[in-house]
Amino acid sequence: MLKIDCSVILNVYRRPHMLNRQIEAVLNQTVGIDPDNIHVWYNPSGVFQDIPKNRKVKTYESSWNTKFFGRFTVPMLCKTDYIAVFDDDNLPMPGWFESCLNVINKDETNGILGGTGVTILSKNSTTKSGVTRMPIEKVGWNGFHLDETARVDYVGQTWFFRRKWAKYMWYEDPVTWNNGEDIMFSYLSQKYGNINTFVPPHPEDNPGIWSTDFKIAWDEGRDSNASWRLKNHTGTRDDVHRHCIDGGWKTVREL
């Protein structure tokens, strides 16, 4: 089996029941992952999921809730060529890492990769179901299922990137520490490193290379712990969108 020099970062907050399933999914990829390169970031939630003693997994337990950004400090401690980060509601399918390797090693798609990609369609807000937001389009597991790689403005839920790019996340202070790490990472990486963002293929007829198990991600991502259920979630994210565009972000639609 081909081995991949990749560190995997998992995040535990309110879905501790997903942790060991995620570890198994990572270790069952079509390319080999060294268990020593799996890192688990615990945000305080009152729940600590035990890891089987036979797993050589590194853990980080924070005494305060670092929300979405804290886990992105871990790549600075890693020595591998690649980094993979997963939200706690995503379970990668067996061919996901291999698909990412195929994409990132092509000059035209050598960038940050993810499982759900967003393209901002306009800076103007629209109202839908009583919520005002900037219109967007999604590709990936929860959007258009494309047979080819697609360039997008940013990706979320699952990230795959070269470790040397992790530093760009910290080149500017976040607009807010409560949200928008996905937006900031793509914006800052493009601004300071000329690195764009892509979603690898998610073909309908080959879910084995998808970034996540669709049913599990759909069910887990819609429970009471989902961040999109928080008050003013959409408005906060749109503030981050506008900040980045005003800061020089070259979006796909050139807004």
**pLDDT tens digits for 134-147?**
899 999 999 999 99
Dist CA 29 CA 71 (whole Å): 22
Residue burial 189-206, b: 16+ Cβ < 10 Å; e: rest: bbbebebbbbbbbbeeee
Give me Rg for the CA atoms of the chain: 17
User: Domains of the chain, with CATH numbers?
Assistant: 6-119+139-225 (3.90.550.10)
Q: What is the largest CA-CA distance in the chain?
A: 52
DSSP-derived letter for residue 229 is G
Q: What is the pLDDT of residue 66?
A: 87
Q: What is the pLDDT of residue 62?
A: 84
pTM over 0.85: yes
Q: What is the pLDDT of residue 223?
A: 53
Q: What is the pLDDT of residue 47?
A: 58
**Coil, strand or helix: which one is 12?**
strand
Residue 153: other Cβ atoms inside 10 A: 27
Residue burial 63-76, b: 16+ Cβ < 10 Å; e: rest: eeebbbbbbbbbbe
State the pairing for strand pair 197-199/154-162. Answer: unpaired
Low-confidence ranges of the chain (pLDDT < 70): 45-54, 129-131, 221-231
Q: What is the pLDDT of residue 228?
A: 44
Q: What is the pLDDT of residue 129?
A: 67
Dist CA 231 CA 100 (whole Å): 34
